[in-house]
Amino acid sequence: MHRILEDERIAAHEPGLGRERIKRAAEEVIGRARLSGDEREYDAIVAAVRNRLDDLRIESLVPVINATGVILHTNLGRAPLSPDAATAVVAAGGWYSNLEYDLSTGERGSRNAAIGEALRAATGAEDALVVNNCAAAVLLVLDTLAKGREVIVARNALVEIGGGFRVPDVLERSGAKLVEVGTTNRVYIEDFERALSPRTALILRTHASNYSIEGFTHEPSARDLAALGQRAGVPVVEDLGSGALCDLAEYGAAHERTVQEAIGDGMTLVTFSGDKLLGGPQAGIVAGRAYLVARLRTNPLLRALRVGKLTIAALAATLRCYRDRSLRERLPVYRMLAATLPDLRKRAKAYVSEVRGALASESDAYLGGGALPRARIPSIAVAIRTESPQDLTASLRMGHPPIIARIESGRVLLDLRTIAPEEDQLVISTLIEKAVFSIDPS
């Protein structure tokens, strides 16, 4: 084994794959071979290990266990799909479907018709359409309604969401001219009113998402803005980002503005993501007044932003879970939110009794995905004290499947809120294997 790992043909893979994964691949190959010490056989084994390593390099997406406590972790793929949505993806992707085929007439149909109907029912909006992500939804709205014209935005809404999505930059790329009003902390309805001109295309409101301003602040209500837009004949668009369809306060979290509330407040259009609090696939949804959604539908850009059948299938199955309160926890995001502290403590007990040196510890989980950035969700973690927390987290990351944990106060923490109960046994056995040698007895 040592000779294989040191062999330069194998060691060359180390920077990309890490020693741990290479060792595993070599063990798999050697486990299958019967060794006789023949030199030709050695070369064959090296070749087989190299093949396995090549496979690993192109295996780009691997399932991971999220022990970070961040429910909508953008780096880990945001919302996991419900079993219903995952099944729908397999069904739609595995064979033919009526994606653009009208079964009643036998003629070409619309790929957006059925999902539009489901979105109308779920949001209460007059009409809705789906694109690739929320950034695309904002771009489509601005390109359709504001190209070469002015968009009024409060200075406290000129945010960067992350991943390079900056409101002023998206505005600029869409060919709209940004008109900033108010100050960083205070903006009044009169500021918007004064900025209105014949060149105004729309007023844009954005969800602050990943920051909050506290103290001496003021902002007009959405209703006041809607009323102003109505008087001036200017659409008021709100980029909600997370797009909750239900009240998070039901789960003991703070209230996050819902899509229905924004529509109810009179927003002309709202945009939101499919894979944040909605709990579905990556998608961007525009919902609101039918006459404007109809204009978006005629924009040729829509062809480049449209979603595939896998997304439509997953989104439709996700929306079905909102039809009835009893179905909602089929969505993993809401199941994680609904887990009680006694539930989590009970699961922690199993870890503590099986993994030497593990303790149950209070922890803070987060929603992530730009929703309620400062709202801590009380949670329970399994804490492991070890000489080198960095080594343990690295070794967990390199495991099969990788486990993503965090380090806090010198301990490795695995938050149970984002680990599925079905994953507990696998995590426990991995910890027994990895952690038992690294316990600091103090």
Ligand X SMILES: *Cc1c(COP(=O)(O)O)cnc(C)c1O
Query: Using CB under 6 A as the criterion, which residues of the chain lie in contact with ligand X when the complex forms?
Result: 133-135, 161, 165, 206-207, 209, 239, 241-242, 273, 284, 370
Q: Rounded to the nearest whole angstrom, what is the least distance from the CB of residue 330 to ligand X in the complex?
A: 22
Measured from the CB of residue 22, what is the shortest distance to ligand X in angstroms?
34
With respect to ligand X, which residue has the nearer C-beta, 123 or 361? Answer: 123
Query: Per residue in 74-113, is it b (16+ CB within 10 Å) or e — as a string?
Result: eebebbbbbebbeebbeebeeeeeeeeeeeeeeeebebbe
Q: Are 258 and 223 in contact (CB under 8 A)?
A: no
User: Is the bond preceding residue 401 a cis peptide, omega within 30 degrees?
Assistant: yes
C-beta of 109 vs 373, nearer to ligand X = 373
Nearest to 130 by CA among 285, 21, 242, 319: 285
State in angstroms the smallest separation of the CB of 132 from ligand X. 8
Give the closest residue to 81 by CA, choosing from 338, 307, 284, 321. Answer: 321
CA 311 to chain centre: 14
Reduced to 3 states (helix: H, G, I; strand: E, B; else coil), residue 32 is helix
Question: Closest approach of Cβ 311 to ligand X, in Å?
Answer: 12
CB atoms inside a 10 Å sphere around CB 298: 8
Q: With respect to ligand X, which residue has the nearer C-beta, 235 or 399?
A: 235
Cα separation, 218 vs 184, whole angstroms: 10
Q: In whole angstroms, what is the distance from residue 409 CA to residue 385 CA?
A: 10
CB of 207 to ligand X, least distance (A): 4
Nearest distance from C-beta of residue 403 to ligand X, angstroms: 25
Considering beta carbons, is residue 112 or 242 the nearer one to ligand X?
242
**Closer residue to ligand X in complex, CB, 112/206:** 206
Indicate the residue whose CB is closest to ligand X: 241
Task: Check: CB of residue 420 under 8 Å from CB of residue 414.
Answer: no
Which residue, 79 or 380, is less far from ligand X as judged by CB? 79
| DSSP label at residue 328 | G
53 or 134, CB closer to ligand X? 134
Beta bridge partners of 360: 382
Site of tokens 């390099």: 57
Q: How far is the CB of 2 from ligand X (least distance, A)?
A: 46
* CB 369 to ligand X: min, Å: 6
Considering beta carbons, is residue 269 or 358 the nearer one to ligand X? 269
Q: How many Å apart are CA 385 and CA 396, to the nearest integer?
A: 14
Cβ within 8 Å of residue 415, ≥6 positions away: 67, 68, 69, 363, 365, 379, 380, 381, 406
Q: What phi and psi values does residue 430 have, to the nearest 5 degrees?
A: -65, -40
Q: Which of 289, 283, 282 is nearest to 262 (CA)?
A: 289
Closer by beta carbon to ligand X, 69 or else 241: 241
Distance CA 222, CA 224 (A): 5
For residue 357, the minimal CB distance to ligand X (Å) is 39
Which residue number, 69 or 274, has a Cβ lying nearer to ligand X? 274
φ, ψ dihedrals at 202, nearest 5°: -165, 165
Distance (Å, whole) CA 404 – CA 412:
10
Work out how close the CB of 355 gets to ligand X at its nearest, in angstroms, rounded to a whole number: 36
